[in-house]
């Protein structure tokens, strides 16, 4: 019945081609055929945010997106943050502020925060909460994640951001 | 939680989309943002034989002025609506409503047309459409037609769209002068579907009396509900707390069969409707002054 | 033989500790932050198949036939497993209490909606789920029982006919002259409480990859195991394999909180691997499977409790009657949650007599599992709410009534009525701290003023013991055998002075690898980056248990310090030989083996290790040429439980005092947490940032339990809360940011004086929030006695109160 589709997408600045069943979710394509296992699956119905990636610069839930919907698009996953083994300032901020415990939800948070800080380099508390509100963390109780976001924003705004800001 | 097998088409024009829906009548589902549909596919609760993805149809993503209102293309992402300076400046009620929709990650993908066509009774956009008397433009095999919001939302998850029709645009009238507004809801958590919500607009006349009122309740019945009797009750009256209290009581009686689920029973929803109507009227009145 | 290890930081061989006690960034984090940690679903093997599980739609049904013929024909399907296979190949799973479990697939009957009935291994999870739809099961539905009280009625449907009843356990434990205390009381208060099902929900569900080697008859399972050793033992018993042929490898996992489980999934994938010619089979539990069929539900409880009081507020007796609805089997180890309250039955109070009337009953719902806190969270709510009721009745301030009942600071170690011993504590100090932080008297004034303005604020002031370092004897009352929980570590130094530490557990979020690194870096005078912690599988690791019962921070510190001490002895002997001095003159200090009193006469640990490895001719005869040592730590002084369950069980007693300010919207029933203060005392804080993280995480789960999270079954045994749309986990909007203050009363019993803190605020927060809500609504005549305090529930209570 269903014909497989050939799709093309750019992921972390690398071009990829894949042949997928239309029913293959974007997160399964990323984690499976593309081997980018940093994005995690927590619920498969669009609530927990663990699967969040950037699609054409927007944070989306890749568990409720079909791979075919992403055809022709640009995707950034957690593997695309940071450079040459160095942590991105957002990752560095999480490290310093103890913004993670088990780390399973963390890549999803990082991508949403990346979008937030691109759009709003000096975010208000409301904006921070609005972004974080789309994610569930079961370990940290969020206090240190909020601290990490503020620290990351400051880092990216500073002249020392060196190419990241 | 993996979807069942289905076919997939991504037409480039509205005409192609309609033709596909016609050819697969009853067995096709329209995919726009997917925020409601894909979870159902993952749970195998939806089993279409073909998905018709309308996201690649050009020319359906826009927000612009039209007559005395805003015309919004059906494929406009909810996030675009939220961040639109035009909407923020010209239609604060519509803007405030978008902030209540789920979370930014959902709004990045979810579309205005998708939300309206899905017609969840607890969703904000269908309720806003009803409150504002929006005009919904649809295209089908017999051409184009415009459906008023009052006729568009038929019952639970059901609109007046024929199986082969797709929504292409929603037109939201602006609020008249001297009109205050309010949208508020009670939900278990921020961003969750409302257990109950109320939208109110309130227009003051020359002598400070109420010239026009809109009260829409959502999350309480099979569709959003216009509380017309409660609206009538306020006409010509001066805005005050006792009036709003009585209007709230009246509005709560206008819900036929309040929904009952694991989070809220019927009685509770009815009472929330009463409380929220009163609070929304008060807030709208304050904004009108 | 136990080894002497440093009791305090001052006893460490370092002149100035650089790491222990500091909030050092975690060594685990860079891999986690870059998405490179190998969670189980990131792991693949060549030829690996994917498993999907068919589950019972009935709460109780006989299984007459399972037809898998169509499923087997689907392209991509390699093997199908049914109850018939499982009956042939496995033993029933061991349970506590014993005899209340079945096999990994339902064989003769299914006992709960979601129970596995058949399983498929296919080339992808997508295909495996397609195959499930082709399996036809002939069910004969049976009457189901979903209500705990009805399950005890003589005519009730029986879950295990052979037991003749659904009562898994019925016992009364009496400590001291309880009857006398109640007879002689000035006041007796009695109340009832209902706590609904709630559960762990780590962000990562359970996952496993099993491979059955048909040639040598061995099984290898990789998975997100919280306790790999116990899982391995149980797999050997259930699958009929010799223990040395079962190897479990725990992967770092995305949280657990006691709720990872995995027994059925491991057995199912193992048998599918066997059936598919030895191909590896992976099963990743999806979220709906977890909620309905996983280790996801706990504490389905009906309480009746009584306090015997003197007029001055002194509590002389505490009675608890608990009906614990454990669900369809005891396989999840949920029964131990009914036993753990004994470890701190009377909380912070010197209540001399107590009684526990415990009934554990089976119903046609998901078997209960452990969840962070392991039972005390509901128990503590009951006790603390009763204290508030007593305060109100007697006209005493809630802070004062607690103060009057505290175990005094000079009476530790203190043995409580139910038998456990608290190591140390100063409850007056924690209370005073939280009252000061919150400006308590001003808060009460604010509350009174708010009431005048029609705003309903409530204050919850609650203190609890957070027992740490569990022992099996804590659960003797529900049939758990054994005393003593080992934790082993091997510490090795290489030629270059780098340290390798081998342990028996993988990471699940508490930062233990960092704590290990901190301790050893200070001990051996090296940098954190000079240490590498490597988890070992069940066949290679020293005896171990891993995380659980707030034990691992203390236990692994004990293990590595013990290994360090044994290693130090070797190094000292070798260095003494090389320095040509008596060993008593050689000491380890700041990373050097040096001759006391002779400046400059010293060797680095790398030099000594190098000599051991390269110059066996220079070694003393009683030293083996291996710069490595292994030590297995267990808690000292544990005792077997007596017939009333009394035992020295949990080694440490951390304590915390929480003060919560809430506002209740009495028209909608919604609760908002306005402010939250915490004073906690967990002894020496090995890494304060870890402690604060555990605390805040516990607050989040506690708020979830108090306000949002509830598994709801209808009367047909169907789970209504089957997704995250209905089982509501708190987000950043629902969790308060808390103000925390640390007090330190070290433990006299543990290495470096630290106390267990992994379960932390979960013991305390539900009680704090619930007591705050009750405090807000008391003037309206409302009694809040059901958890969670959902808006609908509060609205109903308020409506009823208005009527009467």
Can you give the three-state secondary structure of C560-603, one letter per residue? HHHHHHHHHHHHHHHHHHHHCCCHHHEEEECCEEEECCCCCCEE
Using the Cβ of A2 and the Cβ atoms of chain B, whether some distance falls under 8 Å is answered with: yes
Give the best residue of C791, C793, C798, C800 to mutate against chain B (max B CB count within 10 A): C791
Q: What average pLDDT does range C180-194 have in this prediction?
A: 98
- Domain residues for A149? 89-158
Judged against a pLDDT cut of 70, whether residue A2 lies above it is answered with no
List pLDDT tens digits, range B44-55: 999 999 999 999
- Would you call C255 and A139 a contact, using CB atoms and an 8 Å cutoff? yes
Q: Can you list the domains of chain C with their CATH numbers?
A: 9-37+486-633 (3.30.365.10), 40-142+205-253+261-293 (3.90.1170.50), 301-393+418-475+639-803 (3.30.365.10)
- Would you call C125 and B186 a contact, using CB atoms and an 8 Å cutoff? no
- Would you call A2 and B5 a contact, using CB atoms and an 8 Å cutoff? yes
Q: Confidence band (pLDDT; 50, 70, 90) for C1?
A: low
Interface of A with B in 70-109 (CB under 8 A): none
In CATH, what number is assigned to the domain containing residue A126?
1.10.150.120
B7: chain A residues, CB-CB within 8 Å = 1-3, 22
Judged against a pLDDT cut of 80, whether residue B252 lies above it is answered with yes
Min Cα separation B68/chain A (Å): 31
Using the Cβ of A157 and the Cβ atoms of chain B, whether some distance falls under 8 Å is answered with: no
Q: Confidence band (pLDDT; 50, 70, 90) for A163?
A: low
Residue B159, H or E segment: strand B158-159
Using the Cβ of B191 and the Cβ atoms of chain C, whether some distance falls under 8 Å is answered with: yes
- Please state the domain count of chain A: 2
Does some domain include residue A100?
Answer: yes
List pLDDT tens digits, range C379-416: 999 999 999 999 999 999 999 999 999 999 999 999 99
A49: chain B residues, CB-CB within 8 Å = 105
Min Cα separation C129/chain B (Å): 7
Strand partners, C121: C51, C79
| A97 and A117 housed in the same domain | yes
The string of DSSP letters for C383-426 reads HHHHHHHHHHHHT--HHHHHHHHBPPGGG-SEE-TTS-EE----
Rounded-to-integer distance, Cα C454 and Cα C447, Å: 11
| A105 and A55 housed in the same domain | no
| Cis before C97 (ω within 30) | yes
The mean of the pLDDT values for chain C is 97
Chains with ≥3 CB–CB distances under 8 Å to B: A, C
Share of chain C above pLDDT 90, in %: 97
| A127 and A64 housed in the same domain | no
Using the Cβ of A66 and the Cβ atoms of chain B, whether some distance falls under 8 Å is answered with: yes
Rounded-to-integer distance, Cα C555 and Cα C784, Å: 39
Does some domain include residue A165?
Answer: no
- pLDDT at residue number C663: 98
Angle of helix C552-579 relative to helix C512-524, nearest 10 degrees, comes to 20
Using the Cβ of A61 and the Cβ atoms of chain B, whether some distance falls under 8 Å is answered with: yes
ipTM over 0.90: yes
- Would you call B105 and A3 a contact, using CB atoms and an 8 Å cutoff? no
- For A59, the closest chain B residue by CA position comes to B105
Q: What average pLDDT does range C244-252 have in this prediction?
A: 98
| A103 and A62 housed in the same domain | no
- For A45, the closest chain B residue by CA position comes to B39
Judged against a pLDDT cut of 80, whether residue C776 lies above it is answered with yes
- For B109, the closest chain A residue by CA position comes to A60
Does some domain include residue A135?
Answer: yes
Q: What average pLDDT does range C572-593 have in this prediction?
A: 95
- For C737, the closest chain A residue by CA position comes to A143
pTM confidence score: 0.97
- Would you call B34 and A1 a contact, using CB atoms and an 8 Å cutoff? no
- pLDDT at residue number A125: 97
Give the best residue of B108, B110, B188 to mutate against chain A (max A CB count within 10 A): B108
Share of chain C above pLDDT 70, in %: 100
Rounded-to-integer distance, Cα A146 and Cα B19, Å: 49
Judged against a pLDDT cut of 90, whether residue C180 lies above it is answered with yes
B190: chain A residues, CB-CB within 8 Å = 133
- pLDDT at residue number A164: 64
Mapped onto helix, strand or coil, the DSSP state of residue C175 is strand
| A70 and A117 housed in the same domain | no
∠ Cα C11 C15 C17 (to 5°): 80
Chains with ≥3 CB–CB distances under 8 Å to A: B, C
Q: Confidence band (pLDDT; 50, 70, 90) for C100?
A: very high
Rounded-to-integer distance, Cα C211 and Cα C190, Å: 55
Residue in C126, C708, C795 closest to B189 by CB: C708
Q: Confidence band (pLDDT; 50, 70, 90) for C175?
A: very high
Q: Confidence band (pLDDT; 50, 70, 90) for C373?
A: very high
Residue in A2, A25, A134 closest to B104 by CB: A134
Q: Confidence band (pLDDT; 50, 70, 90) for A162?
A: low
List pLDDT tens digits, range C603-632: 999 999 999 999 989 898 888 899 999 999
- pLDDT at residue number C804: 86
Does some domain include residue A38?
Answer: yes
- Would you call C35 and A78 a contact, using CB atoms and an 8 Å cutoff? yes
Alpha-helix runs per DSSP H in B134-265: 149-152, 228-234, 241-253
Judged against a pLDDT cut of 60, whether residue B283 lies above it is answered with yes
In CATH, what number is assigned to the domain containing residue A61?
3.10.20.30
| A39 and A73 housed in the same domain | yes
Does some domain include residue A17?
Answer: yes
Question: Measuring CA to CA, which residue among C458, C260, C237 is closest to residue C372?
Answer: C260
| A109 and A152 housed in the same domain | yes
Rounded-to-integer distance, Cα C499 and Cα C533, Å: 8
| A100 and A130 housed in the same domain | yes
Chains with ≥3 CB–CB distances under 8 Å to C: A, B
Q: Which residues contact C16 (CB under 8 A, 6 or more apart)?
A: none
Give the best residue of A104, A129, A134, A150 to mutate against chain C (max C CB count within 10 A): A104
Rounded-to-integer distance, Cα B188 and Cα C795, Å: 13
Instruction: Give the pair of three-digit tokens for residue C480.
Output: 């758990």
- For B265, the closest chain C residue by CA position comes to C792
- pLDDT at residue number B26: 86
Does some domain include residue A163?
Answer: no
User: Alpha carbon of C427 to those of B145, C290, C754: distances in Å?
Assistant: 73, 39, 17
Q: Which of A57, A79, A101 lies at the terminal end of a domain, its last residue?
A: A79
Using the Cβ of C414 and the Cβ atoms of chain A, whether some distance falls under 8 Å is answered with: no
Q: What average pLDDT does range B215-227 have in this prediction?
A: 97
Please count the residues of chain A.
Answer: 165
Does some domain include residue A120?
Answer: yes
Interface of C with A in 241-280 (CB under 8 A): 253-255, 257
Q: Sheet holding B225-226: strands in order across?
A: B179-186, B196-204, B210-218, B225-226
Alpha-helix runs per DSSP H in C108-222: 125-132, 148-151, 178-183
Q: Which of A79, A110, A140 lies at the terminal end of a domain, its last residue?
A: A79
Instruction: Give the pair of three-digit tokens for residue A128.
Output: 């921070």
Instruction: Give the pair of three-digit tokens for residue A7.
Output: 């799709």
List pLDDT tens digits, range A62-99: 999 999 999 999 999 999 998 888 999 999 999 999 99
Q: Which of A79, A107, A138 lies at the terminal end of a domain, its last residue?
A: A79
Q: Which of A53-57, A159-163, C357-361 has the lowest mean pLDDT?
A: A159-163
Residue in C692, C729, C732 closest to A132 by CB: C732
Q: Which residue has the tokens 């990562």?
A: C204
- pLDDT at residue number A84: 81
| A123 and A57 housed in the same domain | no
Judged against a pLDDT cut of 70, whether residue C34 lies above it is answered with yes
Q: What average pLDDT does range B172-184 have in this prediction?
A: 97
Min Cα separation C572/chain B (Å): 59
Does some domain include residue A164?
Answer: no
- pLDDT at residue number B25: 87
A5: chain B residues, CB-CB within 8 Å = 8
Residue C25, H or E segment: none
Residue in C723, C728, C799 closest to B188 by CB: C728
| A99 and A65 housed in the same domain | no
Judged against a pLDDT cut of 60, whether residue C582 lies above it is answered with yes
Q: What average pLDDT does range B147-159 have in this prediction?
A: 97
């Amino acid at each position: 019945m269903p014909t497989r589709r050939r799709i093309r997408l750019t992921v972390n600045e690398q071009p990829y081609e894949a042949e997928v069943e239309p029913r293959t979710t974007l997160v399964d394509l990323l984690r499976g055929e593309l081997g980018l296992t940093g994005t995690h699956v927590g619920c498969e119905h669009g609530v927990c945010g663990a699967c969040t990636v950037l699609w054409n610069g927007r944070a989306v839930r890749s568990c409720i997106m079909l791979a075919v919907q992403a055809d022709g698009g640009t995707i950034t996953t957690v593997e695309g943050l940071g450079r040459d083994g160095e942590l991105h300032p957002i990752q560095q901020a999480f490290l310093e502020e103890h913004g993670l415990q088990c780390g399973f939800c963390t890549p999803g948070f990082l991508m949403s925060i990346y979008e937030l800080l691109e759009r709003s380099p000096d975010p208000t508390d409301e904006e921070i909460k609005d972004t974080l509100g789309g994610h569930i963390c079961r370990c940290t109780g969020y206090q240190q994640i909020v601290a990490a976001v503020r620290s990351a924003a400051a880092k990216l705004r500073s002249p020392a951001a060196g190419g990241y800001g | 939680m993996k979807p069942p097998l289905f076919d997939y088409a991504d037409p480039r024009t509205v005409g192609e989309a309609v033709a596909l829906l016609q050819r697969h009548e009853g067995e096709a589902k329209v995919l726009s943002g997917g925020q409601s549909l894909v979870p159902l596919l993952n749970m195998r609760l939806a089993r279409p034989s073909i998905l018709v993805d309308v996201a690649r149809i050009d020319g359906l993503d826009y927000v612009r002025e039209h007559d005395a209102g805003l015309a919004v293309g059906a494929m406009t992402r909810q996030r675009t609506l939220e961040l639109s300076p035009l909407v923020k400046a010209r239609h604060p009620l519509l803007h405030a409503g978008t902030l209540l929709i789920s979370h930014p990650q959902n709004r990045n993908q979810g579309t205005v047309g998708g939300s309206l066509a899905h017609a969840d009774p607890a969703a904000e956009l269908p309720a806003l459409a009803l409150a504002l008397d929006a005009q919904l433009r649809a295209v089908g095999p017999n051409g184009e037609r415009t459906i008023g919001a009052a006729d568009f939302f038929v019952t639970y998850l059901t609109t007046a769209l024929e199986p082969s029709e797709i929504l292409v645009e929603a037109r939201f009238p602006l609020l008249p002068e001297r009109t205050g507004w309010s949208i508020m809801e009670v939900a278990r958590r921020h961003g969750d579907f409302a257990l109950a919500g109320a939208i109110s607009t309130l227009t003051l006349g020359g002598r400070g009396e109420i010239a026009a009122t809109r009260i829409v309740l959502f999350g309480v019945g099979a569709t959003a509900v216009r509380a017309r009797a409660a609206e009538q009750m306020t006409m010509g009256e001066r805005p005050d707390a006792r009036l709003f209290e009585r209007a709230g009581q009246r509005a709560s009686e206008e819900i036929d069969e309040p929904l009952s689920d694991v989070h809220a029973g019927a009685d509770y929803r009815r009472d929330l409707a009463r409380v929220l109507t009163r609070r929304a009227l008060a807030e709208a009145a304050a904004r009108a002054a | 033989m136990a080894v002497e290890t440093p009791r305090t930081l001052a006893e460490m061989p370092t002149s100035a500790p650089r790491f222990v006690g500091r909030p050092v960034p975690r060594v685990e984090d860079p891999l986690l932050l870059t998405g490179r940690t190998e969670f189980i679903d990131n792991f693949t093997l060549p030829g690996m198949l994917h498993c999907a599980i068919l589950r019972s739609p009935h709460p109780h049904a006989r299984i007459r036939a399972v037809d898998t013929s169509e499923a087997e024909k689907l392209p991509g399907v390699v093997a199908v497993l049914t109850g018939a296979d499982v009956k042939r190949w496995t033993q029933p799973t061991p349970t506590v209490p014993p005899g209340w479990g079945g096999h990994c697939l339902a064989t003769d009957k299914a006992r709960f909606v979601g129970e596995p009935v058949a399983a498929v291994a296919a080339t992808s999870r997508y295909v495996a789920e397609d195959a499930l739809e082709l399996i036809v099961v002939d069910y004969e539905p049976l009457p189901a029982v979903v209500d705990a009280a009805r399950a005890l009625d003589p005519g009730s449907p029986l879950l295990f006919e052979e037991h003749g009843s659904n009562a898994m356990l019925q016992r009364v434990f009496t400590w001291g002259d309880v009857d006398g205390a109640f007879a002689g009381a000035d006041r007796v208060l009695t109340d009832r409480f209902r706590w609904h099902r709630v559960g762990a929900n780590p962000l990562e569900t359970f996952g496993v990859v099993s491979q059955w080697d048909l040639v040598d008859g061995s099984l290898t399972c990789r998975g997100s195991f919280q306790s790999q050793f116990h899982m391995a033992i149980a797999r050997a018993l259930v699958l009929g394999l010799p223990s040395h042929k079962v190897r479990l490898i725990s992967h770092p996992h995305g949280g657990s909180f006691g709720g990872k489980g995995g027994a059925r999934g491991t057995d199912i994938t193992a048998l599918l691997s066997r059936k598919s010619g030895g191909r590896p089979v992976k099963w990743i539990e999806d979220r709906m499977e977890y909620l309905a069929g996983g280790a996801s539900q706990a504490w389905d409880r009906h309480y009746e409790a009584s306090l015997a009081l003197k007029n001055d507020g002194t509590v002389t007796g505490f009675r608890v009657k608990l009906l614990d609805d454990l669900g369809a089997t005891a396989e999840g180890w949920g029964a131990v949650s009914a036993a753990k309250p004994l470890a701190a039955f009377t909380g912070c109070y010197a209540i001399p007599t107590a009684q526990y009337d415990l009934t554990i009953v089976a119903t046609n719902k998901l078997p209960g599992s452990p969840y962070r806190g392991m039972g005390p969270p509901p128990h503590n709510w009951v006790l603390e709410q009763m204290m508030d009721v007593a305060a109100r009745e007697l006209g005493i301030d809630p802070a004062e009534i607690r103060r009057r009942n505290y175990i005094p600071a000079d009476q530790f170690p203190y043995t409580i009525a139910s038998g456990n011993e608290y190591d140390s504590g100063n409850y007056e100090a924690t209370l005073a701290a939280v009252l000061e932080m919150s400006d308590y008297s001003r808060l009460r004034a604010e509350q009174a003023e708010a009431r005048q303005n029609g705003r309903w604020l409530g204050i919850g002031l609650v203190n609890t013991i957070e027992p740490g370092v569990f022992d099996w004897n804590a659960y003797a009352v529900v049939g758990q055998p054994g005393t003593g929980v080992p934790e082993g570590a091997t510490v090795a130094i290489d030629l270059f002075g780098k340290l390798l530490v081998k342990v028996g557990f993988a990471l699940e979020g508490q930062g233990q690898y960092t704590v290990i690194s901190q301790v050893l870096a200070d001990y051996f005078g090296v940098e954190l980056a000079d240490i590498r912690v490597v988890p070992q599988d069940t066949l290679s690791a020293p005896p171990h248990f891993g995380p659980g019962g707030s034990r691992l921070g203390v236990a692994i510190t004990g293990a590595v310090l013990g290994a360090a001490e044994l290693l130090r002895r070797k190094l000292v002997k070798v260095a003494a030989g090389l320095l040509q001095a008596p060993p008593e003159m050689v000491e380890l200090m700041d990373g050097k083996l040096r001759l006391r009193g002779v400046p400059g006469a010293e060797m680095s640990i790398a030099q000594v290790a190098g000599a051991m490895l390269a110059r066996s001719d220079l070694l003393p005869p009683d030293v083996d040429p291996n710069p490595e040592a292994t030590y297995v730590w267990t808690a000292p002084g544990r005792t077997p439980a007596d017939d009333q369950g009394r035992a020295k069980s949990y080694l440490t007693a951390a304590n915390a005092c929480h003060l919560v300010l809430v506002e209740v919207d009495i028209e909608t029933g919604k609760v908002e947490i306005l402010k939250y203060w915490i004073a906690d005392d967990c002894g020496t804080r090995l890494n304060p940032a870890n402690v604060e993280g555990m605390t805040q995480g516990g607050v989040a789960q506690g708020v979830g339990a108090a306000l949002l999270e509830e598994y709801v079954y209808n009367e047909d045994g169907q789970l209504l809360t089957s997704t995250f749309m209905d089982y509501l986990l708190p987000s950043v909007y629902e969790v308060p940011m808390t103000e925390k203050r640390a007090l330190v009363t070290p433990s006299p019993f543990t290495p470096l004086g630290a106390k267990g803190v992994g379960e932390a605020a979960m013991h305390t927060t539900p009680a704090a929030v619930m007591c705050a809500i009750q405090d807000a609504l008391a003037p309206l005549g409302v009694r809040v006695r059901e958890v969670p305090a959902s808006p609908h529930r509060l609205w109903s209570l308020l409506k009823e109160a208005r009527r009467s």
